[in-house]
């Protein structure tokens, strides 16, 4: 793994607050949904970057 995933202090505070509220983990207003969306998009971008590179033998 090249880069270590780090959370900003604002996102970390939102996640912690949401966990303590005992609301559902995923939903329209859940910070976990935003985090999951960002993770999936980052992985897809990595896949696209990898596939767009010329093959080297």
Q: pLDDT tens digits, residue range 6-55?
A: 667 888 888 889 889 988 877 877 888 888 888 899 999 999 988 887 77
Name the DSSP letter for residue 51: H
Predicted TM-score of the model (pTM): 0.56
Residues 52, 46: Cα–Cα separation, whole Å: 10
């Amino acid at each position: 793994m090249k880069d270590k995933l780090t959370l900003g202090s604002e996102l970390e505070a939102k996640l912690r607050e949401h966990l303590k509220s005992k609301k559902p983990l995923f939903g329209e207003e859940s910070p976990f949904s935003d985090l999951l969306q960002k993770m999936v998009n980052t992985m897809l971008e990595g896949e696209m970057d990898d596939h767009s590179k010329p093959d080297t033998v």
